[in-house]
């Protein structure tokens, strides 16, 4: 029995109800629903294009007690290897196109800056001391500033949502790119790490060359340049003032050195805590260390004020003939055309790169804080025996779309942490809901705060306060923009499609609704048969409603069970001829094993030879890569042919 609390404006009452197991989609995706390798056999019953399960073989195994062979018998077919997509088809992916643009801009900025510091007369004397590492340090710094300008934009959720809404008029390619904002954020982070490494290595070499320029073996010109700055009317070029100077100690007393160390440490902590292992096992560590970006950006802005790299001033270039004087340094101060050269550091420019993104991000945080202050009314709480907490909420002015997600915060659990959850309710309902599964410290604390572990009921006014940020758009919201949509969920990734299918059900009930969507194919691959219970009710109602509207062909769903035990195999064999599926109770029989995506997409391409088909997936990365390759492989080279547009749910 699940415990349910209802909250009304005037009164509160407790209700006992039989609950189904619900799934959640917090910040960590479920990887147990798929362990595919792209070449997995399957069998299915009463599904076109698939081979049915042999009842005789199952019955024989049950009678002879060889139950261990049942699961092998049901998945003993050969598979077809998914062909690798061509390069041209891969490049049609908008993400690849934007990656090329980003890489092109980085290469352009690096080469342009490198050539500038290699050729500019103002740095002739600096190059004599440092060589080409000067250009390497400055070119990587320019690319570092460029990527720091970009890094905050993909995580401005409200900005992305605004652009996503505006891009409805610009086609689906831009929306698909916006859905990959976290992927782009990671890509830019790798660019920052690479350029920071080049910058650190180059300046480490520069410090040693500055130091060696103070030695007697350095030569006359380098010694002459290193000696400048001892008199009041002279400006220095070499920051290492004597050969006996401890370079490490000297650097760590400068603004550039101190901020450089702070930036490097912050970047290392941010990058190492962002690995998938840390995010999944210790999400709180990832969340807190990621906020070191404040330290990183502060240090970045101050770093250039140290003016570690110095060049000849424009006034000095007019008076000091560098071409002649660099070969006649002994004539300096004596010859009219060779006065002592004057040097100055570069004007800090990092703030110019990052100012606008930082202002946008500050505005983003102000909007989030305003939403945090808004009241959230909890109208219903359901505790399921499967370790899932179902929350129904209301909030003034809250308007959602099917497939969207929100961020939840519980101040009594953590004052800072926000976690994403897919909305499981439909826009047509007068509330919004999420299902929270215990998968980490934060969700476990939330579960405990709502009294899910207690036997006694907890009055709603005693429940902790929740804050909601959102809703935000996601890839699945584009399902209704296609004439044909294919929805694929693996394991717990079925959650966003619950909202989609509920919305379809409501739209079918409304005779005034005109849908551009004409056909939906739904695939769910799941390991645990008990997970079918909660979703089967939704499919049953949708199946019934479509039959009443004479739209039996509107939804084609295929449920694949990838794990079962001996008792379940016996039960399946005994009820093989039943009209209703023994697992789900639906008319469509459950398939046992994993789908052969090569056959599935081939059949889709044959059924819809000249359509643009939206493919929407939520689940682990291993299957995502397979599906993306398959979409590219079966998309026609001819633009007039079938086109599969792949969309992946990202958080």
Task: Considering the domain delimited by 475-649, tell me its CATH architecture.
Answer: 3-Layer(aba) Sandwich (3.40)
Q: Phi then psi for 350, rounded to 5 degrees?
A: -60, -35
Q: Which of 96-100, 123-127, 218-222, 248-252 has the lowest mean pLDDT?
A: 96-100
The whole-number pLDDT of residue 51 equals 34
List, for residues 148-181, the tens digit of each pLDDT value.
999 999 999 888 888 877 655 555 566 667 778 8
Neighbouring C-beta atoms of residue 22, cutoff 10 Å: 24
Integer Cα distance of 498 and 402 in angstroms: 9
pLDDT digit string, tens, across residues 420-456: 898 988 888 889 999 888 877 888 888 888 887 776 6
The residue that leads in pLDDT, 37 or 382, is 382
| Edge-to-edge strand list for the sheet holding 12-17 | 12-17, 2-7, 376-384, 388-395, 432-437
At 517 the three-state DSSP class reads coil
Highest mean pLDDT range out of 181-195, 239-253, 525-539? 181-195
77-91, 286-300, 436-450: which has the minimum mean pLDDT? 77-91
In this prediction, residue 86 carries a pLDDT of 45
Q: Looking at residue 67, what is its pLDDT? A: 32
- Which residues have CB under 8 Å from 449's CB, separation 6+? 410, 412, 413, 463, 464
Q: What is the pLDDT of residue 424?
A: 87
Tell which wins on pLDDT, 149 or 415. 149
For CATH 3.40.50.80, the residue range(s) in the chain are: 475-649
CATH 2.40.30.10, applies to 375-454+464-472: yes
Helical segments of 242-282, H only: 247-251, 255-272, 276-281
Model confidence pLDDT, tens digit, residues 1-35: 444 444 333 333 333 333 333 333 333 333 333 33
- How many other CB atoms are found less than 10 A from the CB of residue 609? 11
pLDDT at residue 588, rounded to an integer = 66
Q: How far apart are CA 261 and CA 266, in angstroms?
A: 9
Least confident of 72-76, 181-185, 507-511: 72-76
Give the pLDDT confidence of 505-552 residue by residue, as tens digits: 788 777 777 778 888 898 988 876 565 566 666 777 777 777 777 777
Indicate the pLDDT class of residue 190, thresholds 50, 70 and 90.
very high
pLDDT score, position 498: 83
**Looking at residue 114, what is its pLDDT?**
97
How does residue 582 score in pLDDT terms, banded at 50, 70 and 90? low
Q: Are 45 and 580 contacting, i.e. CB atoms less than 8 angstroms apart?
A: no
CB 112 within 8 A of CB 303: no
Q: How far apart are CA 162 and CA 178, in angstroms?
A: 10
Q: Could you give the C-alpha distances from 510 to 399, 431, 453, in angstroms and in order?
A: 19, 19, 41
Please determine, for residue 289, whether its predicted confidence score (pLDDT) is greater than 70: yes
Q: Which helix (H) or strand (E) holds 526?
A: strand 519-526
pLDDT attached to residue 161: 82
* pLDDT of the residue at 571: 58
> For residue 464, what are its two tokens?
């902790």
In this structure, of 43-47, 295-299, 389-393, 589-593, the range with the lowest mean pLDDT score is 43-47
Q: pLDDT averaged over the chain?
A: 78
Residue 548's φ and ψ, nearest 5 degrees, are -65, -30
Least confident of 54-58, 368-372, 482-486: 54-58
3-state secondary structure of 99: helix
pLDDT given for residue 77 in this prediction: 29
pLDDT band at residue 281 using 50, 70 and 90 as cut-offs: confident
% the chain with pLDDT above 90 = 30
**Distances, alpha carbon 266 to alpha carbons 150, 198, 289, 341, in Å:** 18, 17, 8, 38
User: Vertex 189, ends 184 and 193: CA angle to 5°?
Assistant: 150
410 confidence band (pLDDT: 50, 70, 90)? very high
Q: Judge contact between 641 and 612, C-beta under 8 A.
A: no
Of the two residues 289 and 12, the one the predictor is more confident about is 289
Give the Cα separation of 101 and 99 in Å (integer): 5
Poorest-pLDDT segment among 168-177, 186-195, 361-370, 462-471: 168-177
Of 400, 426, 394, whose CA–CA distance to 510 is shortest? 426
| 417, two tokens | 């942490």
Which residues belong to CATH 2.40.30.10 in the chain? 375-454+464-472
């Amino acid at each position: 029995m699940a415990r349910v609390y209802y909250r009304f404006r005037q009164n509160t009452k407790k209700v006992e109800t039989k609950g189904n197991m619900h799934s959640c989609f917090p910040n960590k995706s479920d990887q147990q629903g798929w362990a595919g390798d792209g070449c997995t056999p399957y069998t299915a019953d009463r599904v076109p294009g698939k081979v049915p399960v042999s009842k005789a073989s199952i019955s024989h195994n049950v009678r002879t007690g060889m139950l261990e062979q049942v699961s092998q018998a049901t998945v003993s077919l050969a598979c077809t290897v998914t062909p690798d997509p061509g390069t041209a088809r891969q490049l049609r992916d908008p993400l690849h196109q934007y990656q090329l643009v980003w890489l092109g801009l980085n290469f352009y900025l690096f080469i342009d800056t490198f050539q500038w510091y290699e050729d500019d007369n103002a740095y002739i004397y600096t190059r004599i001391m440092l060589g080409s590492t000067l250009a390497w340090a400055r070119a990587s710094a320019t690319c570092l500033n460029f990527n720091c300008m970009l890094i905050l934009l993909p995580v401005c959720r409200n900005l992305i949502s605004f652009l996503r809404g505006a891009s409805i008029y610009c086609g689906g390619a831009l929306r698909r790119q916006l859905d990959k904002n976290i992927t782009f954020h990671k890509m830019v982070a790798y660019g920052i790490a690479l350029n920071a490494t080049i910058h650190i290595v180059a300046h480490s070499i520069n410090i040693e060359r500055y130091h060696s320029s103070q030695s007697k073996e350095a030569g006359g010109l380098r010694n002459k340049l290193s000696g400048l700055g001892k008199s009041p009317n002279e400006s220095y070029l070499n920051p290492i003032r004597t050969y006996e100077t401890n370079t490490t100690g000297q650097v760590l007393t400068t603004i550039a050195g101190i901020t450089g160390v702070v930036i490097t440490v912050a970047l290392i902590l941010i990058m190492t805590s962002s690995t998938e292992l840390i995010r999944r096992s210790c999400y709180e560590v990832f969340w807190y260390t990621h906020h070191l970006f404040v330290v990183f950006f502060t240090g970045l802005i101050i770093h250039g004020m140290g003016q570690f790299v110095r060049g000849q001033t424009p006034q000095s270039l007019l008076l000091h003939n560098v071409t002649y004087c660099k070969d006649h340094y002994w004539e300096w101060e004596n010859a009219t055309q060779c006065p002592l050269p004057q040097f100055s550091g570069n004007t800090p420019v990092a703030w110019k790169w990052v100012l606008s993104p930082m202002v946008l991000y500050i505005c983003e945080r102000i909007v989030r804080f305003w939403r945090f202050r808004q009241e959230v009314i909890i109208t219903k709480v359901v505790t399921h025996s499967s370790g899932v907490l179902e929350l129904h909420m209301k909030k003034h002015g809250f308007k959602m779309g099917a497939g969207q997600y929100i961020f939840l915060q519980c101040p009594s659990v953590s004052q800072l942490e926000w976690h994403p959850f897919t909305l499981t309710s439909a826009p047509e309902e007068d509330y919004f809901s999420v299902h929270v599964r215990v998968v980490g410290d934060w969700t476990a604390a939330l579960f405990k705060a709502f009294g899910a572990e207690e036997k006694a009921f907890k009055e709603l006014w005693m429940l902790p306060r929740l804050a909601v940020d959102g809703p935000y758009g996601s890839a699945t919201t584009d399902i209704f923009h296609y004439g044909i949509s294919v929805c694929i969920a693996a394991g717990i990734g079925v959650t966003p499609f619950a909202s989609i299918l509920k919305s379809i059900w409501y739209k079918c009930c409304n005779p005034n609704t005109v849908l551009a969507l004409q056909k939906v194919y739904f695939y769910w691959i799941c390991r645990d048969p008990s997970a079918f219970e909660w979703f089967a009710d939704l499919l049953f109602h949708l199946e019934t409603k479509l039959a009443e509207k004479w739209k039996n062909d509107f939804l084609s769903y295929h449920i694949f069970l990838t794990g079962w035990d001996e008792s379940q195999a016996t039960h399946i064999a005994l009820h093989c001829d039943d009209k209703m599926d023994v697992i789900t109770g639906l008319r469509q029989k459950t398939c046992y094993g994993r789908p052969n995506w090569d056959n599935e997409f081939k059949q889709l391409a044959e059924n819809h030879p000249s359509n643009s088909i939206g493919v929407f997936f939520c689940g682990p990365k291993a299957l995502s890569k397979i599906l993306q390759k398959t979409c590219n492989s079966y998309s026609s080279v001819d633009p007039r042919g079938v086109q599969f547009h792949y969309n992946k749910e990202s958080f």
